[in-house]
Amino acid sequence: MTPLQVKLVQESFAEIAPIADQAGSLFYGRLFDIAPEARSLFNGDMAEQGRKLMATLATAVNSLGRIDDLEPALADLGRRHGGYGVLASHYPAFGAALIWTLQRGLGDAFTEEIRDAWISVYRAVSDRMTAACAT
C-alpha cells in the first residue's frame, strides 16, 4: 500500500461519506447476493449494521497512514468476527461487495487506479484480520 493509494482511498471515501446509509444498504444487499450463506451471520437491524460498517470503514480509512497503529484494533476486530462465525473464506466476498458498492457510489469517478488502491488497502486490512481470526 503506497502513500498515493492511501490518498486515493481517503479521497474517494470522502465522496462516499454523504451517502453512507445508502452505501451500507448497497453493500449488504450485494454481499448477500454473492454469499447468501453470510446472511445467517447477521441478526438485527441491517440499517444499523450498515451504519456500523460505514463508521468502522471511516475509522480505518482515516488511519491508513498509520496502518501499524491499527494492528491491535484490526486483530481485535478479526477475533470478534471469528467469534461471530466469520470464516477466512468470507473475506473475498466482503471485498467484492465493497468494491462493487464503491463503484456504484462513485460512478465514473471510480477509476481503475482507485479500484486498485482499494483492493490493496482491503488486502492489507483483511490479511491482518484473518491472521487474528485464525489464532
Give the C-alpha separation, 45 to 43, whole Å: 7
Q: Using 50, 70 and 90 to split pLDDT, how confident is the model at 78?
A: confident
CA-to-CA distance for 45 and 5, rounded, in angstroms? 33
> Under CATH, which number does the domain 3-133 receive?
1.10.490.10
Residue 131 C-alpha cell reads as: 491472521
pTM strictly above 0.95: no
**pLDDT level of residue 134 (50, 70, 90 thresholds):** low
Q: Calculate ∠ Cα 27-33-34, nearest 5°.
A: 95
Conformation bin of residue 55: beta by default, left when phi > 0, alpha when psi is -120 to 50: alpha
**Is the backbone of residue 44 left (phi > 0), alpha (psi -120 to 50) or beta?**
left
Domains of the chain, residue spans: 3-133
Distance CA 128, CA 25 (A): 25
Contact between 24 and 82 (Cβ < 8 Å): no
In tens, the pLDDT along 21-56 reads 999 999 999 999 999 999 998 888 999 999 999 998
* Cβ contact 86:126 at 8 Å: no
Residue with cell 448477500: 32
Of the candidate ranges 39-43, 62-66, 104-108, 131-135, the one whose mean pLDDT is the lowest: 131-135
